[in-house]
Amino acid sequence: MPLMLIPAHARRNRLRTLLTAGSVAVALFLFCGLRTVITSIDRTVSEAASGRLVVQSAVSLFVALPISQWKKVEAVAGGRPVTHWTWFAGVYQDPKNFFARFATDVPSFRKVYGDRRPGGGDIAMPADQWDAWEGERTGCIIGRALVDRFGLKIGDVVPIEGNIYPGEYRFTIRGIYRSLKPTFDEGTMFFHWDYLDETNGGRGLVSTYTIDLEYPEQGPEVARKVDEEFASSANRTQTLTEQAFQAGFVSMWGNVPLFLSFIGGAVLFAACMVTVNTLLLNARERVTEVGVLKTLGFPDASIGAMNVIEGLLLSGAGGAAGCGLAWVAFNLSPMHDVMGTVIPDFTVLPRTVATAMAIALGLGLVSGLIPGIVAARMPVVRALRRIG
């Protein structure tokens, strides 16, 4: 097999070679990015705790529940820890500086998600930082992603201009947490619900309640009892497992995974067409070369295989470049934290890279096989008839 000709072919038209490999690299870079959106969303749902229930309004997630329901939910839950979350929104310095902000009850939040949860919580933070946050009315905690994004540190004052809850709020950072679960975003700020409620005249409203069950199999029975408790009240509830709640929240985006899959497929198809066209063009320019090789005794199979190997190397090099760039951009650069503020745990997984490389090699195989078959079937006389 005339393998020594493959480097010569690549050098013959360097610009064309680079552009072809570059098209594959761009396609695989985009594929890794789009695929990571899908895998991150899937992990947010699949790895949600099966032993927790989320209680929301039966009307809509955006309808608040009264704080007076808290003790009743605890009673129905059999004394298990129950905490609550309230979406705050607001603006930090500039509307572009978006990140999630929630008001919560710190002691119960610590029992459900923190260091006081038996078996470990979803976030990790030193005990002295937990205590400092719990003991300060205007204290808050933030995830590591916000530290990297804004250069914040413990003791800094974070001013927030409220919109859902009007007013100017000033929070003092008392802790920096790291996430132990993909479902918990490191780009979030948590603060005292009491501070929010007092500032807004004691409205006594929360967004959702979270029940931490002792055993996951208790979920259906507890959920039924909670909803029955408030079935006749003005604030009916809908109680879901944390997994179902996350799935419902994701469904608000619409069928994003299908849409992104269509885009990724279109990009890969375009890259395949570019690569096939390039290798076919190369094959046309090497017709005489094929005739000479056959005259020298090289079998048809080896000439066809040479084209296949060339396609595999070209697409493989482009795929490796695209996957490497995606790994650095989405896992190691500041873009990882920026994307994490929108999609929790936005990380390119090894299986995504493996899939992308398999696609790249598949593109190379298809792209090289077509000109390879053409070259292998070309009669010697026809090949030698063309000069130049």
- What digits encode the pLDDT tens for the residues 167-211? 899 999 999 999 888 778 888 999 999 999 999 888 999 999 999
Indicate the pTM of the whole model. Answer: 0.70
Which range marks the domain in which residue 131 is found?
A: 59-235
pLDDT, position 22: 87
| Domain count across the chain | 2
AA letter at 256: V
Does one domain contain both 122 and 222?
yes
Share of the chain above pLDDT 90, in %: 39
Predicted pLDDT of residue 3:
61
Question: Residue 24: pLDDT band by 50, 70, 90 thresholds?
Answer: confident
Pairing of strands 188-192, 100-104: parallel
Do 17 and 40 have their domain in common? yes
Q: Provide the pLDDT confidence category of residue 341 given band limits of 50, 70 and 90.
A: low
80/387 Cα distance (integer angstroms) = 86
Under 8 Å between Cβ of 268 and 332: no
pLDDT over 70 percentage in the chain: 82
* Predicted confidence band of residue 2 (pLDDT cuts 50, 70, 90): low
Q: How confident is the model at residue 43 (pLDDT cuts 50, 70, 90)?
A: confident
Residue 152 lies in a domain: yes
Q: Residue 241 falls within a domain, yes or no?
A: no
303 and 162 both lie in a single domain:
no
- According to DSSP, residue 217 is labeled G
What's the pLDDT band for 107 if we cut at 50, 70, 90?
very high
Clarify whether residues 15 and 67 are in a common domain.
no
Q: Is the pLDDT confidence value at 40 over 90?
A: no
Let me know whether 353 and 265 are in one domain. yes
Q: Are 168 and 159 in contact (CB under 8 A)?
A: yes
117 and 210 fall within a common domain: yes
Say whether both 167 and 219 belong to one domain. Answer: yes
Q: Is the pLDDT of residue 384 over 80?
A: no
pLDDT at 309: 83
**pLDDT higher than threshold 70 for residue 249:** no
Domain boundary among 174, 204, 235: 235
Q: Looking at residue 149, what is its pLDDT?
A: 86
CA-CA distance, 25 to 325, in Å (whole number)?
A: 9
The mean per-residue pLDDT over the stretch 209-217 comes to: 90
Mean pLDDT of 80-87: 94
Calpha distance 344→369 (Å, rounded): 41
Cβ atoms of residues 210 and 53 within 8 Å: yes
* Domain-embedded: residue 244: no
- Mean pLDDT computed over 324-350: 81
Of 179, 206, 235, the residue at which a domain comes to its end is 235
From residue 60, how far is each of 102, 235, 248, 249, 306 by CA, in Å? Answer: 18, 11, 11, 11, 62
The answer to whether residue 101 sits within a structural domain is yes
Q: pLDDT at residue 382 above 80?
A: no
Shared domain check, 221 and 106: yes
Domain check: are 98 and 26 in the same one?
Answer: no
* Residues 135-163 pLDDT 10s: 999 999 999 888 988 999 999 999 999 88
- Are 30 and 141 part of one and the same domain? no
Confidence tier at 124 by pLDDT (50, 70, 90): very high
127 part of a folded domain: yes
Exposed e or buried b per residue across 17-37, where buried means at least 16 C-beta atoms within 10 angstroms of its C-beta: beebbebbbbbbbbbbbbbbb
In the predicted structure, residue 81 carries a pLDDT above the cut 80: yes
Instruction: Confirm whether 140 is domain-assigned.
Output: yes
Structure tokens of 81?
A: 């820890």
Residues 222 and 334 occupy one common structural domain: no
Q: Is residue 322 part of a domain?
A: yes
Final residue belonging to a domain, choices 174, 202, 235: 235
**Per the domain annotation, does 213 fall within a domain?**
yes
Q: Which residue type occupies 383?
A: A
Whether 386 has a pLDDT exceeding 60, the answer reads: no
Together in a domain, 306 and 347: yes
- Tens of pLDDT, residue by residue over 277-325, are 777 776 666 666 666 666 766 776 777 677 788 888 888 999 999 999 9
User: In terms of pLDDT, which residue wins out, 22 or 85?
Assistant: 85
